[in-house]
Amino acid sequence: MSSTMQVQEPLYIKFQDIIMKKIEAGEYLPGEKLPSERVLAELYGINRMTVKSAVHALETKGYLYRSQGKGTFVQKKDFHRLNLGLLSESENLGITAMVKSQGVKISNKILTRGVISGSHYFSSKLQIDFEKPIYSLHRIRYGNEEPIAVEYTYVPYQSFPGIELIDFKNVSLYDYMDSKGRMPVTFEQKFQIIEVSKKEGKYLELDQGQVVYYFEMVGLDENNTIVEYTESYTRTDKAEFIFEING
Amino acid sequence: MGKVLTLEVLLSKEIEYLLEAEEYKEKQKLPSERELAEYFHVQRLTIRAALQILVQKGILISKERYGYFIAPKRVRFTLNHTNSFKMMIERMGKTSYVKLLEFEKMKITETLAKKTLLAEGTEMYRIMRLRYGNKEPIALEKSYIVCDLAKDLSEEDVHNKSLYETLKKKYRLFITHSSHRVSVVYANGLEAELLKVSPSKPLIKYQGLAYEKKGRLLEYFETVLLSDKIEFIIQKN
């Protein structure tokens, strides 16, 4: 590794390119914490000053951001469009959630995560065998610290080995799925407006009797394999949904 | 089954699966709590909590001392197909009827011009209709059609008839692209009266712009629907 670094270009530029490529390739995901400068220096056999200059340059370029006392993170792409598990980056693939105000900073809270099995309901939604493990990830999505949605997501565990190691507080699920080549690109969705239950009401800070959007959706990857089943509850005062129809 | 989901939630899902697998019909009665508890090998209280989740979701109705029943099905409103509302209602085994309330030719308003990006002074037909499913009001539909594209549109063309069918047959206008927006609003006085709900009841607001084959804007629509009668469906392409 270190021999390839000994070139005419300033070392920090070379190193900066490596990190940029890793971000673009999805090896480092948006929101993911970068290893510490010390670890990076050891990893690439370069000195810490070089790492520091490269990281600083990438911050200026908007690839990374520093959070006081927490470390350096990969920048998230877009704050305006809320990826509520409903957004398709490509066109016309599903319904898109729009946060009603601009410049909203999205954050997540993990409610619970882990493997489940032996559910007829979820295995039939994912179209996998009854005994197969399912990874479930339950999150509250916040916009500017206010709750917007609760999402209960289920993915076939065997398609995503190692998913339990990903930091979904900071990394988007779709960025992760994309990095595995299993990003959902088409969706079957249905939604209703229902009165919020006590449980989701608590998460969303809503009183009983108030309504929410309730979504159920199945996401399929490029090979038409189901990679995701999600149920979500979204506050009606925070988001609306848009979509385009052709033909 | 692990502790990721509570037993009640998992059970509610398994009951949902059972109802789907055994094709329970609208208004059909469920087995008793006792029978379900035996079937799933759990306590009756746990079954009750699971059933309660499904009542909350509007899948079941509970009638005291009589048990649990499948709730009336919502009209499945498919968003990415140009099926008519009439067809969607009839597919649920309900009768559909649309009553013309207002029909007029008007100059575009400022609000409307902003929404459509049409020029000031553009003339439009304003059509307001009330949609019924099984004789119950279900939606209030407002539609604005650019006059130039559908000259001499008349009341007869839109009273209890599909507007899009008329546009196709009479004017050879085919909608090839449209953009839509769904949000939740609270009923105003007129909407509450026409839809027979209390004011401030949450309604679905469904707005959109429809363009014809040559890319010209043909219609702006704004529909409010009863939120508890509708389920939106978005199918994969």
Q: What is the pLDDT along chain B (237 residues), one digit of tens a residue?
A: 447 888 999 999 999 999 999 999 999 999 999 999 999 999 999 999 999 999 998 999 999 889 999 998 898 888 766 667 888 888 888 898 999 999 999 999 988 888 888 998 999 999 999 999 989 999 999 999 999 999 999 998 888 788 888 899 999 998 888 888 888 888 888 999 999 998 878 999 999 899 998 889 999 999 999 998 999 888 765
- Closest Cβ–Cβ partner in A220, A240, A243 for B236: A220
B232/A190 CB distance under 8 A: yes
Architecture per CATH, domain B7-70, reads as Orthogonal Bundle (1.10)
**Residue A35 shares a structural domain with residue A137:** no
Which residues are CB-neighbours of B45 under 8 A, at least 6 positions away? none
Number of domains in chain A: 2
Q: Would residue A214 count as lying in a domain?
A: yes
Q: Which of A61-70, A181-190, B34-43, B143-152 has the lowest mean pLDDT?
A: A61-70
Which residues does chain A have within 8 Å of residue B57's beta carbon, measured at their own beta carbons? 194, 197, 214
pTM of the model: 0.79
Beta bridge partners of A211: A195
CATH number at residue A149: 3.40.1410.10
**Residue A138 shares a structural domain with residue A238:** yes
The pLDDT of residue A164 is above 70: yes
Q: In this predicted structure, what is the pLDDT of residue B64?
A: 87
User: Band of the pLDDT at A214, cuts 50, 70, 90?
Assistant: very high
**Residue A229 shares a structural domain with residue A162:** yes
Q: In this predicted structure, what is the pLDDT of residue A89?
A: 38
Tens digit of each residue's pLDDT (9 = 90 or more) over A129-146: 999 999 999 999 888 888
Gap between the terminal Cα atoms of chain A: 53
Domain residue limits at A204: 96-242
Q: Exposed, middle or buried, B63 (CB in 10 Å: 0-12/13-18/19+)? A: exposed
- Would you say domain B75-233 falls under CATH 1.20.1260.10? no
Tens digit of each residue's pLDDT (9 = 90 or more) over A192-213: 999 999 999 999 999 988 999 9
Which residues does chain B have within 8 Å of residue A94's beta carbon, measured at their own beta carbons? 234
- Pairing between β-strand B217-226 and β-strand B136-146 as defined by DSSP bridges: antiparallel
> Which regions of B22-118 does DSSP assign to beta strands (E)?
60-63, 67-70, 75-78, 96-107
User: Of the candidates A74, A106, A134, which is a domain's last residue?
Assistant: A74
> How far apart (Å, rounded) are the C-alpha atoms in residues A242 and B80?
12
Q: In this predicted structure, what is the pLDDT of residue B175?
A: 87
**Residue A120 shares a structural domain with residue A206:** yes
Task: Name the minimum distance, in Å, from the CA of B31 to any CA of chain A.
Answer: 19
Q: Would residue A247 count as lying in a domain?
A: no
Name the token pair of A137: 């990830």
Helix axes B7-21 and B44-56, enclosed angle (nearest 10): 70
> Which regions of B55-160 does DSSP assign to beta strands (E)?
60-63, 67-70, 75-78, 96-107, 123-133, 136-146
Q: Would residue A50 count as lying in a domain?
A: yes
Q: Would residue A66 count as lying in a domain?
A: yes
**From-to residues of CATH 1.10.10.10 in chain B:** 7-70
**Residue A64 shares a structural domain with residue A116:** no
**Residue A56 shares a structural domain with residue A169:** no
**Residue A155 shares a structural domain with residue A235:** yes
Q: Would residue A84 count as lying in a domain?
A: no
User: Band of the pLDDT at A22, cuts 50, 70, 90?
Assistant: confident
**From-to residues of CATH 3.40.1410.10 in chain B:** 75-233
Q: Which tops the pLDDT comparison, B97 or A75? A: B97
Q: In this predicted structure, what is the pLDDT of residue A77?
A: 56
User: Band of the pLDDT at A7, cuts 50, 70, 90?
Assistant: very low
- Closest Cβ–Cβ partner in A94, A186, A192 for B231: A192
Q: In this predicted structure, what is the pLDDT of residue A95?
A: 60
Q: Would residue A205 count as lying in a domain?
A: yes
Name the token pair of B171: 């004017």
The pLDDT of residue A4 is above 80: no
Q: Which of A18-27, A158-167, B61-70, B111-120 has the lowest mean pLDDT?
A: A18-27
Q: Which tops the pLDDT comparison, A214 or B235? A: A214
**Residue A64 shares a structural domain with residue A105:** no
User: Band of the pLDDT at A88, cuts 50, 70, 90?
Assistant: very low
The pLDDT of residue A96 is above 90: no
Place of tokens 């009330």: B130
Task: Name the minimum distance, in Å, from the CA of B127 to any CA of chain A.
Answer: 23
How many contacts, defined by CB atoms under 8 Å, are there between A and B? 118
Q: In this predicted structure, what is the pLDDT of residue A100?
A: 61
Place of tokens 């539909």: B141
The pLDDT of residue A161 is above 70: yes
Q: In this predicted structure, what is the pLDDT of residue A66?
A: 84
**Residue A62 shares a structural domain with residue A121:** no
CATH number at residue A67: 1.10.10.10
Q: Would residue A82 count as lying in a domain?
A: no
The rounded radius of gyration (Å) of the Cα atoms in chain B is 22
- Best mutation target, B1, B3, B5, to test chain A (most A CBs within 10 A): B5
Give the CA distances from residue A50 to residues A67, A178, B1, in Å, rounded to whole numbers and listed in that order.
Answer: 20, 31, 50
Q: In this predicted structure, what is the pLDDT of residue A83?
A: 40
**Residue A69 shares a structural domain with residue A108:** no
Nearest to A218 by CA among A208, A230, A236, A203: A230
- Pairing between β-strand A106-116 and β-strand A186-195 as defined by DSSP bridges: unpaired
**Residue A131 shares a structural domain with residue A55:** no
**Residue A53 shares a structural domain with residue A144:** no
Q: Which tops the pLDDT comparison, B180 or A214? A: A214
Q: Would residue A148 count as lying in a domain?
A: yes
